[in-house]
Amino acid sequence: MKKILFFFAILSCTVAFSQCYIEGKSTLSVGENQIYTVKNNTAKCAECHAWSIAGNEVIVNGNRNQKDLKVKGNAAGNTMLSVEMDSDKGLLKCYKNIMVVPSLPKKLSEVAEECDFNINGFKEHKVNDSTVSYAPDNVVKNLQYTWIAEYENGEQKSSAEPTAKFNFTNTNGIRALKLNVKSSSCVRDFTKIYEANYWDFY
């Protein structure tokens, strides 16, 4: 009997903690605004919350005592967002890790005016539901190619082949794809920036 009561006590605690969850993006760019909210909010009142954050990676904008909190990416790095909520089940506290990554350039490409090779961009091709391939619009031999894929979680993958393949998932898509092409006398850089939900429908 004691074991059964102990089991239900643990189960009740687990359910209580599972109801405290911060909803919002795990990765932000510097300068990007994001609203975080307490999911399944069970607070006793509208201002029965206390938000806090460690470090200066994000800046808090607005009231720290409501269920929604607006923040802005300030500096690259990792930080933790937490909230305490006064609920009918007592004081609940939940956490969320946030990664702030450098902001991406707004321009899609940068091309040198004069160059000894004719490459002006790159093409994208779907290999399957988890792989995408890239190739310059004109493959030229004896050049140095550097492909860099930047993912939503801040990870980077690279390739030095003339054409490149990168994996992706719905939860961790490519946020930017960069191509650097170099000869002995010229360098050209190209960047494609993706919308946050691009890979959900790819």
- In this structure, are residues 71 and 81 in contact, taking their beta carbons and an 8 Å threshold? yes
Q: Which tokens hold the place of 98?
A: 């946030």
What is the model's pTM?
0.51
- For residue 105, the model assigns a pLDDT of 54
Residue 145: closest CA among 105, 201, 189: 189
Q: What is the spatial distance between Cα 117 and Cα 96, in angstroms, rounded to a whole number?
A: 48
- For residue 3, the model assigns a pLDDT of 41
DSSP-H helix ranges across the chain: 2-18
- For residue 90, the model assigns a pLDDT of 86
Q: Which tokens hold the place of 192?
A: 């494609």
Query: Which residue has 């004896």 as its token pair?
Result: 142
Q: What is the pLDDT along the chain (202 residues), one digit of tens a residue?
A: 444 443 334 334 433 444 678 988 888 888 889 999 988 888 889 888 899 998 888 999 888 999 899 999 988 888 999 999 888 888 888 899 988 887 765 444 444 457 888 898 999 999 999 999 999 999 898 999 999 999 988 888 999 999 999 999 988 999 999 999 999 888 899 999 998 788 988 8
Q: What is the spatial distance between Cα 36 and Cα 17, in angstroms, rounded to a whole number?
A: 18
Going along the chain from its start, the domains and CATH numbers come out as: 21-101 (2.60.40.1080), 122-200 (2.60.40)
